[in-house]
Amino acid sequence: MWTYEDAIGWLNSLNNFEKSRRFETDPTNWQVGELLGRLGVDKSTFDMIHITGTNGKGSVATLSAKILTLLGRRVGVFKSPHVNAFNERISIDSLPIDEDVFASEALLVRELADHLGLKLTWFEALTAIAYSSFFAEGVDVAVVEVGIGGSFDATNVYDAEVSVITNVGHDHLELIGPTLEDVARDKSGIIKANSAAVVGLVDDDLFDVISRRDAASISRFGVEISLQERSSALGGQVIDFRTRRSYFSDVYLSAYGLHQAINAVTAVAAVEELERKSVNPTVVAEACATFYMPGRIEVVSKEPVVILDGAHNKEAIEALTGVVRDDFGGFSKYVAVISTLEQKQSAQILEVLSEAFDYFILTTANLEVSTSVDTLVEIARFSGYKFGIADNIPAALEDAIAVAGNDGIVVVTGSFRGLSDARSYLEN
């Protein structure tokens, strides 16, 4: 019998951009389309919200799914990366996919791919497993997060009822750039004719690129949808906002930062476009109040205060730094544990973090593509930052807690890869 462990082992034998940071062949989606067609997956049995963007995809996907679940829909979610367990990437009715279901679907995909002579990448295979699982398990709505870009992403094999672009930033310029206009053009490839598009916070010139797509309607943040008021609250914030169909006031959102407020507005707007009607304010209030995203400004310890955040590009680091300044003032020492990935914006990450942090502990996530500690040290020395070094995340976290003391704060950031190691260290 093929097991969950067998399925993970097979996936890990395939080319994986998340580990290698390079594509052996140009990204494509035709293989996934071919597989799903042969497997008999019928998209007409479920609706779909398709989400792309430089940052915020996971938050929008999670909150959209939460609202839909509260509305009584059976919801499948495909997102990345995972923080704790691999099967978090595919969930049904708010629970990670059953390991036996995952193994069964993975075996079908592998055997058919071998029969057809397809050379799948890791993400293509995982995408096929996700869609096939949603069909087999009878979901009403699939909430799907793009891997990279949009036009040629493996997830872009179906016409979604609602397409979401959260924002457009500087990540993966080497793949879908080199300009932000190129990135916007690629991401807008998920927008299909007769679909509703929801666009988060983007500059006018980038929106001009996106709006050239043939959509039935486009709801743009700051125009058709907007954040009206925002104030800090214990454990999050209170927001007032409007969509094309509704106005919501005094909604408590259990997440920090302007960026998460924008994500919440975007998620509610996406669900309303899918439902084609206003969403009950009580449902929105419950979804926002119980919103939880591991590794997104997640407070995992209060004595001392330790925050985990997977920010890994300039825009995300700016958002994190702003939250630390605005919502976590008054600490005697601000210490950041930093590990970054190759090709990421390490110098920019350190520069932005230096606006809020006194001291860095530089380390590695122990992946072949992690930026070496020596490289981070060179950047830190050149810029005059105060820092220490550690061989791994647990050792770095231990050092950071010692430096911060009882009255300080520690933030682990720079990549998602180090967060599970940090969590394990704290739990033990």
pLDDT tens digits for range 144-194: 999 988 899 999 999 999 999 999 987 666 677 689 999 999 999 999 998
Are 303 and 423 in contact by the 8 Å Cβ rule? The answer is no
Are 234 and 259 in contact by the 8 Å Cβ rule? The answer is no
Give CA–CA dist 130/48, Å, rounded.
Answer: 13
Which residue's entry shows tokens 């993975």?
106
Same structural domain, 131 and 199: yes
SS3 call for 215: coil
pLDDT average, residue stretch 297-323: 92
Q: Which two tokens stand for residue 391?
A: 């061989």
For residue 81, pLDDT over 90 is answered with no
Same structural domain, 270 and 318: no
Q: Kind of pairing, strands 226-233 and 217-220? A: unpaired
Same structural domain, 278 and 380: no
Q: Treating both helix axes as pointing N-terminal to C-terminal, what angle do 4-12 and 99-116 enclose, rounded to 10 degrees?
A: 50
pLDDT average, residue stretch 67-87: 93
How many residues appear in the chain?
Answer: 428
Give CA–CA dist 12/368, Å, rounded.
Answer: 14
What per-residue confidence (pLDDT) applies to 369? 72
Smallest CA-to-CA distance from 144 within 55, 52, 282, 274 is with: 52
Residue that terminates a domain, selected from 245, 269, 289: 289
SS3 call for 331: coil
The 10s digit of each residue's pLDDT in 116-138 is: 999 999 999 999 999 999 999 99
Domain span at residue 381 reads 298-427
For residue 226, pLDDT over 70 is answered with yes
Q: What is the pTM of this model?
A: 0.94
Same structural domain, 252 and 395: no
Give CA–CA dist 254/24, Å, rounded.
Answer: 41
Sign of the Cα pseudo-torsion (312, 315, 316, 319, in order): positive
Domain count of the fold of the chain: 2
Same structural domain, 280 and 321: no
Same structural domain, 375 and 399: yes
CATH code for the domain in which residue 97 is found? 3.40.1190.10
Residue that terminates a domain, selected from 258, 289, 320: 289
Same structural domain, 222 and 357: no
CATH code for the domain in which residue 364 is found? 3.90.190.20
Residue that terminates a domain, selected from 228, 261, 289: 289
Q: Which two tokens stand for residue 282?
A: 């009580």
What per-residue confidence (pLDDT) applies to 23? 54
Q: Kind of pairing, strands 217-220 and 141-145? A: unpaired
Give CA–CA dist 221/78, Å, rounded.
Answer: 24
Same structural domain, 200 and 283: yes
Same structural domain, 275 and 309: no
**Average model confidence (pLDDT) across the chain:** 93
Same structural domain, 412 and 329: yes
For residue 209, pLDDT over 80 is answered with yes
Same structural domain, 9 and 75: yes
Same structural domain, 151 and 268: yes
